[in-house]
Structure 1
Amino acid sequence: MKIAFLMDRLESIDPAYETTAALMYETNQRGHSVFFLEPHDIYIRKQQIVARMKDITVPPGMPLDDYWQAIIGQEREEALVFESLVDLDVLFLRKDPPLNYGSIEMLAPISDKVFMVNAPIGMVFGNSKLYTLNFPDLTPETHISRDPVRLRRIIDNFGGDMVIKPLGRFGGEGIIKVSTRDPENLNSLINFYVGSHRPYAEREQIMVQEYLKAVKEQGDVRILLLNGEIVGAMKRMPPEGSFRTNIKVGGSAYAHDVSPKERALCERIKPKLVKDGLYFVGIDVIDEMLIEINCVSPGGIPRINRLNNCRIEQQVIDFVEEQSARRQE
């Protein structure tokens, strides 16, 4: 099979901790042809969607670190492979957030010809923090506005701590906890986040959400879903002096047994995810409430593998092999 990965530069990735590296390594180990491309490599030639891809297939059997150095060398030395993208069997869309809308728009017309993980149209809807609003009864109290006065009134009426989240950021960036106990700073923060110096239509919408105190003692849970089914999970605890659990901001990972309520939550969201073509996602749960759905390059495989002595990437590649085979029947 021909399996391509649209992703970040190979040199920017630490393979020991990156889900994309685990998926690529497993693909190569199985003897598939592996291709590498970045968003800017996609273009149109005579109404056909093509890409400046590189064949980075190397002999299987190397340790992961050696494999990664080998494919970096292959990517540097190998001539460009100009291929029609429809000649691929599978395309993994693994470019880190934010979503590159230009490449997604060009890929959408061929999504019925190449099996993509995840589907371009689904990623357009699913990459936003607003996607959780499809499941309002599963989430903490949530408000979204660009009006500082309205946002301040929401926080005042709520009475307790709330969390401000910029809609367009990721990895915990820009997320802060606010309350009415510090009114002077609260006004300044709200005005800063929405950009209140700009005309109303140009301001940034922000999410204000109920702060779940359990995150300090219990952390949050990252659950990986494959075609709507749970394939792995881990607990993430915030570092000292913080409530953010993201690994990129210093959170720590621990083994986690998915609770019955967490399983029920996953069953609730499964039909929507599958319908939208969001086959491989990571969801974040605090105190058994849905906080976020991550569909743009969701991570967690290497850490969950270490914590549970498993190989989740094998299940993912099994799945894409099966889906590709069904399309060819």
Structure 2
Amino acid sequence: MKIAFLMDPLENIQPETETTSHLMYECNERGHTVYFLEPHDVYIRGGQVVARMRNITVQQGLNMAAYWQAIIRCTKQEHLVFETITEMDALFLRSNPPLNYQTMEFLQTVNNHVFILNSTTGQILGNSKLYILNFPEIIPETHVSRDPSRLRKIIDDFGGAMVVKPLQRFGGEGVIKVSTRDRENLNSLINYYVRAYETYARREPIMVQEYMKSVKQDGDIRILLLNGEIIGAMRRKPKKGDFRTNVHAGGTVFPHQVTARERRICEIIKEKLIADGLYFVGIDLIAGKLVEINCVSPGGIPRINQLNNDRLEQKVIDFIEHNVHRMNSSAHRKRA
């Protein structure tokens, strides 16, 4: 199979701890032809979606560090492959947020011809923190506004600490805890996040969410879902003096057995995820409530593998292979 990875520059990735590198490695080990491209490499030629790619298929059997160095060398070569996207069997969209909407629009036209993980439509719908609002019965108290006075009133009325989240960032970036006990800083932070100096229409809406006190002691739960089914989970605890559990923010990971309550949440969101083409996602739960759904380059495979002596990337590539065969069989029947 020809499998392409649309992602960030390889030099920016720590391969031992990144999910993308493990997926690429597994494809290479299975003998698939692997291609690398970045969001700006996609364009239109004669009405077809084309991309500048590099073939990064290398010898099998290397360890991860040697494999990564080998494929970086491939990207330094001058030879570029110009392929129509429909020549690919599968395309992984693994570039970190924020989403490149122009690239998504280009790729939207080939969704029915190439198996894309996750689908462009799904990523457009699910890339911001607003996607959890599809499931109001299982999320903490949540508000979104660009009006500083309204946001202050929400926090006042709530009467306790709340969490402020920019809608388009990832890895815990920009997430802060606020309360009415420090009103001067609260006003300043809200004004800064919504860009209160702009006209109302140009301001940035932000999310304010109930602060779950248990996160300080118990952390949160990251569950990886593949086609709506649980394939792995871990507990993440914040570093001392912080409440953010993201590993990029200094969080530490621990093994976790998924509870009945957590399984029920996964069942509630399953149908919507699959309908939107969000086949591979990471969800974050605190105190039995859904706080985030990560569909743009979700991570966690290497750390869960290490905790459980597993190889979750194998399940993802099995899923890709199955769906490519299904799409090819369907296309063959239509031609017949």
Deviations 1:178-216 (A, max 9, x none): 111112221121112111111111111011110000101
Partner of 2:149: 149
Q: How does 1:240-279 map to 2 (within 5 A)?
A: 240-279=240-279
Give matches, 1:293-308, under 5 Å.
293-308=293-308
Higher mean C-alpha displacement, 218-227 vs 181-190? 181-190
Gaps of 5+ in 2: 330-336
Cα distance in 1 between the residues matched to 2:238 and 2:217: 9
In 2, the alpha carbon distance for the partners of 1:243 and 1:267 equals: 28
Deviation, 1:222, is 0.6
**1:27 corresponds to 2:3:** no
Secondary structure of 1:92's counterpart equals: strand
Equivalences for 1:1-329 in 2 at 5 Å? 1-77=1-77, 79-329=79-329
Instruction: Determine if contact 1:55/1:78 at 8 Å carries over to the other structure.
Output: no
1:164, 1:69 → 2: CA distance?
39
The superposition leaves residues 236-270 of structure 1 with CA deviations (integer Å, 9 ceiling, x where unpaired) of 00000010111111001111111110011001100
CA distance in 1, matches of 2:226, 2:15: 21
Most deviating of 107-116 and 67-76: 67-76
Residue-pair matches, total:
329
Structure 1 distance, partners of 2:42, 2:192, is 37
Deviation string 1:160-190 (CA, Å, 9 cap, x unpaired) is: 1111111121111111111111122211211
Identity across aligned pairs (percent)?
63
Partner Cα distance (2:72, 2:203) in 1: 42
Q: Which runs of 4+ in 1 moved over 3 A?
A: none
For 1:260 and 1:124, the matched residues in 2 are separated by 31
Aligned-partner Cα distance in 2 for 1:181–1:89:
56
Q: Which AA in structure 2 matches 1:44?
A: I
The DSSP-based 3-state class of the residue aligned with 1:6 is strand
**3-state DSSP class of the match of 2:284?**
strand
Q: Secondary structure at the residue paired with 1:328?
A: helix
CA contact (8 A) 1:52 1:82 kept: yes
Q: Deviations over 1:276-299 (max 9, x none)?
A: 000100001001100000000000
Aligned partners of 2:186 and 2:58: how far apart in 1? 55
- SS of aligned partner of 2:242: coil
The corresponding residue for 2:333 is none
Aligned amino acid, residue 93 of structure 2 = L
In 2, distance between residues paired with 1:275 and 1:165?
27
Q: Which moved more, 1:318-327 or 1:174-183?
A: 174-183
**CA RMSD for the aligned pairs?**
0.8
DSSP-derived class of the 2:106 partner: helix
Which is worse superposed, 119-128 or 179-188? 179-188
Structure 2 SS opposite 1:4: strand
AA aligned opposite 1:291: V
Distance in 2 separating the partners of 1:93 and 1:77: 23
Which range moves more in the overlay, 183-192 or 314-323?
183-192
Amino acid at match of 1:200: Y
Q: Normalization by structure 2: what TM-score?
A: 0.97
Deviation string, structure 1 residues 218-240 (Cα, Å, up to 9, x no partner) = 10011100000000111100000
Counterpart CA distance in 2 for 1:152 and 1:180 is 8
Q: Is residue 283–residue 292 contact of structure 2 (8 Å, CA) maintained in 1? A: yes
Counterpart for residue 332 of structure 2:
none
Aligned-pair CA distance for 1:78: 5.6
Amino acid at match of 2:153: R
SS at match of 1:261: helix
Q: Which amino acid aligns with 2:326?
A: R
3-state SS, counterpart of residue 221 of structure 1:
strand
Q: SS at 1:181's partner residue?
A: helix
Please, what TM-score do these two structures have when normalized by structure 1? 0.99
Unaligned stretches of 5+ residues in structure 1:
none
Q: Is the 8 A contact 1:54 1:78 kept in 2?
A: no
Distance 1:193 1:14 in 2: 30
In 1, Cα distance between equivalents of 2:176 and 2:40: 33
